[in-house]
Amino acid sequence: MNRRSFLQTGAKLAGSALFMGLGSSSLLGSSRGIRNASPVEKITLNNGVQMPILGFGTLYLTDDLGVRSVAEAISLGYRLIDTATIYGNEEAVGGGIKQSGIDRSELFVTSKVWVEDTGYENTKRAFQTSLDKLQTDYLDLYLIHRPRGDVNGSWRAMEELYKDGKIKAIGVSNFTAAQINDLIKNFSVKPTVNQIETHAFFQQPGELEFLNRHNIQHEAWSPLAQGRNGYFTNETLAVIGGKYGKSNAQVALRWHYQRGIVAIPRTQQAAHMKENLNIFDFELSEEEMNRIATLDLNKTQFPEWE
Ligand SMILES: NC(=O)c1ccc[n+]([C@@H]2O[C@H](COP(=O)([O-])OP(=O)(O)OC[C@H]3O[C@@H](n4cnc5c(N)ncnc54)[C@H](OP(=O)(O)O)[C@@H]3O)[C@@H](O)[C@H]2O)c1
């Protein structure tokens, strides 16, 4: 589905028969057997590349735990895997992908260039290291992790890698609207994605509006706020979830989905992997979306990362 039509259709019809029908037809279209079936539909980025709207985060999932978790997530239906050089787990993620036995073309793999690796030459080198560790010859999405260091040099390198077909889509993370406007002004390839902290306690409505206006996909990191501030016991989310037989995590992930935001929850537990995928059979009403909007504290839950 095209991004704009997702946002228009999704906002009005999320959860309706038509909307759910689109979800399940993409399931039938893309699966090659039950083990690898994915219930997750895809949105289309501003360069035509398709991206699953729900994925799997891998922060802290290193070594054997990383291999096992990634393989398990893929077997349960996750297709978007989010890693980064700074997580120190690209080898583990690559191992998990290999262990899953899935065809590379079925996956959407994201990595990110870290601050110390910014600049033209460094980024080219860091990118190749990421490919080697992940045991792949291309990335679906490569992001500048933070708006620090030689961002312009990195973007120049990423534009070249994109034009050479080594990266399907390039984007940014933790960028403000002004920093994105600078890239748009100075370069020919526009970012496809901005991955930023987004959850019920930090909802980022201004960023969402800006990104939608520029047809750049909003992707939520820490979509469950890592459980901080009582996310998993929050009463507002629990009351809404009670009506549908859903957990706080499921309500939160459904809320991201209905806002048209890509979310990448992380878990090392198979039960939670399944739970987090099981959000496509209910719909939050407008009133419930508005009630969740009142939870916004409009501030980061991760001041230590600022
Ligand atoms: N670009 C950036 O700067 C940036 C920054 C931070 C994160 N990220 C990306 O975003 C991903 C997600 O963020 P995150 O890892 O910080 O946190 P998160 O996904 O918001 O939360 C992860 C925590 O939630 C728990 N959890 C997951 N599903 C649950 C469920 N259904 N019920 C109860 N608990 C559940 C997990 O514990 P269990 O393992 O016990 O389930 C884990 O402790 C990262 O893994 C990473 O890929 C990017």
- What are the residue boundaries of the structural domains of the chain, listed by start? 3-298
pLDDT tens for 101-148 read 999 999 999 999 999 999 999 999 999 999 999 999 999 999 999 999
Centre of ligand 1 to C-alpha 51, Å, is 19
pTM more than 0.85: yes
Count of Cβ atoms closer than 10 Å to residue 213 Cβ: 9
Count of Cβ atoms closer than 10 Å to residue 8 Cβ: 12
Average pLDDT for residues 285-292, to the nearest whole number?
98
149: DSSP letter: S
Structure tokens at 133: 């560790």
The closest residue, in CA terms, to atom 26 on ligand 1 is 267
244 an active-site residue? no
The closest residue, in CA terms, to atom 21 on ligand 1 is 226
The closest residue, in CA terms, to atom 39 on ligand 1 is 267
**Ligand 1 proximal residues by C-beta, below 6 Å:** 57-59, 82, 145, 173-174, 195, 221-227, 232, 247, 249, 264-269, 272, 275-276
CATH number for region 3-298: 3.20.20.100
pLDDT tens for 23-79 read 333 333 333 333 558 999 999 999 999 999 999 999 999 999 999 999 999 999 999
Contact assessment for residue 142 and residue 161, using Cβ atoms and an 8 Å cutoff: yes
